[in-house]
Amino acid sequence: MLIKKSSEIPSSEITPKALYLNRRAFIGASLAAGAVALGGYKVSGMFAPAEAVSAGTKLQYSKSAYSTGEKQTPLKDVTSYNNFYEFSTDKYGPSELAGSFQPRPWSVSVEGFVKKPKTFDIDSLMKIAPLEERIYRMRCVEGWSMVIPWIGFPLSALLNLAEPTPKAKFVEFTSVLRPEQMPGQKRDVLDWPYVEGLRLDEAMNPLAILAVGLYGETLPNQNGAPIRLVTPWKYGFKGIKSIVKIRLIDYQPETTWHKSAPNEYGFYSNVNPEVDHPRWSQAKERRLGELLKRPTLMFNGYGDQVASMYKGMDLRKNF
Ligand SMILES: Nc1nc2c(c(=O)[nH]1)N[C@H]1C(S)=C(S)[C@@H](COP(=O)(O)O)O[C@H]1N2
Ligand SMILES: [Mo]
């Protein structure tokens, strides 16, 4: 994400786009040349050790019909090119700085307008529904995209368990606040903790998942361990990482990027090639590892599943 307070943006962030994309393309090409077999890719060594279930722990899951058959972005890129401002505003920063973050023990509270509020331990939360692999196209608002094999379960499974009351209209998500483990939180580049939100029907949509893993194993810290939101028809920043609180409320919540730049980031954040960001076009995107840009699809190509939720809405106003 590009932020407004330019005085605070490190030079790495304002590297001309062409330069970092070339760097990526170069890495992508060298990966291909090295014929890296994904199946044999060893993740466990990349992460800080932890007891019991840790990053790099294999998960049991079934395959989902919601998955795309498109070529998956190499694990190396998925885990080393990240936006996670709690660690760094540099995309290579989170993978370098998240090693000592402790994703366990961890609990997530579900509260607000629900009949059954509850605080879940992460390991019991991972068992409330069967885990599925969801291979999703992901599109960052900055213009790059990936295809990521997430492991997770529908957000609706958790919400249904909590039993929203008729007053519940929106869902607010809050990330962890832990400046001692997240160096980026010592700077006020964003208002901490990171918060995001969905309308209740969006949260209940079968495509919305809580991801606890990727490429068959528990989430690396830099990707939002131990649990993060994934909404593939929306820009990447909706996918709030390292969630500690899920609250059902009766008003549209504030969101971190909207607070930071209200004219640039709206509440809905649906991928829309026809509505440009005030500072750049959204018509095309660069899939990591590819040289030529490809056209961006309405709702990131998930219109069949989600367009009906926005019927009658002016998507230019509700961006
Ligand atoms: N808590 C938190 N969640 C976050 C972010 C962040 O900075 N902090 N960045 C967002 C943005 S802009 C993107 S594109 C995705 C990137 O997720 P990935 O690194 O797993 O691809 O995380 C989103 N979730
Ligand atoms: Mo993003």
**Confidence band of 56 (pLDDT split at 50, 70, 90):** confident
Which of the listed residues 73, 237, 255 should we mutate to test ligand 1's pocket, taking the one with most ligand atoms within 8 A of CB?
237
More confident call, 27 vs 275: 275
Give nearest CA residue, ligand 1 atom 21.
82
Instruction: Give CA–CA dist 64/288, Å, rounded.
Output: 24
State the average pLDDT over residues 117-145.
Answer: 98
**Confidence band of 2 (pLDDT split at 50, 70, 90):** low
- Rounded to the nearest angstrom, the distance between the alpha carbon of 17 and the centre of ligand 2 is 14
Q: How many residues does the chain have?
A: 319
More confident call, 50 vs 151: 151
Give nearest CA residue, ligand 1 atom 14.
236
Map out the domains of the chain as residue ranges. 11-310
State the average pLDDT over residues 82-111.
Answer: 97
Give nearest CA residue, ligand 1 atom 8.
84
Predicted local confidence at residue 54, as pLDDT: 63
Which CATH architecture is the domain 11-310 placed in?
Answer: Alpha-Beta Complex (3.90)
Give nearest CA residue, ligand 1 atom 4.
240
Residue 100 half-sphere exposure toward CB, CA atoms < 13 A:
7
Which range is least confidently modeled, 4-8, 38-42, 220-224, 251-255? 38-42
pTM of the model: 0.87
Give nearest CA residue, ligand 1 atom 15.
236
More confident call, 2 vs 237: 237
Measured from the alpha carbon of residue 229, the closest ligand is 1
3-state secondary structure 231-294: CCCECHHHCCCCEEEEEEECCCCCCHHHHHCCCCCCCCCECCCCCCECCECCCEEEECCCCCCE
- Rounded to the nearest angstrom, the distance between the alpha carbon of 165 and the centre of ligand 2 is 32
Measured from the alpha carbon of residue 230, the closest ligand is 1
Residue 4 half-sphere exposure toward CB, CA atoms < 13 A:
11
Which of the listed residues 83, 212, 255 should we mutate to test ligand 1's pocket, taking the one with most ligand atoms within 8 A of CB?
83
Instruction: Give CA–CA dist 228/175, Å, rounded.
Output: 9
Query: For the chain, what percent of residues have pLDDT higher than 70?
Result: 83
For the chain, what is the mean pLDDT?
88
Decide if pLDDT at 4 tops 60: no
Predicted local confidence at residue 12, as pLDDT: 38
Predicted local confidence at residue 35, as pLDDT: 32
Q: Which residues pair with residue 228 across a beta bridge?
A: 211
- Rounded to the nearest angstrom, the distance between the alpha carbon of 35 and the centre of ligand 1 is 29
Q: Are strands 195-199 and 209-214 parallel, antiparallel or unpaired?
A: unpaired
Which range is least confidently modeled, 20-29, 128-137, 157-166, 229-238? 20-29
Give nearest CA residue, ligand 1 atom 5.
84
Which residue, 246, 229, 226, 250, is CA-closest to 238?
229
> Which residues, judged by CB distance below 6 Å to any ligand atom, belong to the binding site of ligand 1?
1, 82-86, 140, 175, 194, 223-224, 236-237, 239-242
Q: How far is CA 88 from CA 131, 185, 224, 311, in A?
A: 30, 9, 13, 38
State the average pLDDT over residues 74-85.
Answer: 97
Instruction: Give CA–CA dist 83/97, Å, rounded.
Output: 12
More confident call, 24 vs 280: 280
pLDDT one-digit tens code per residue, 247-300: 999 999 999 999 999 999 999 999 999 999 999 999 999 999 999 999 999 999
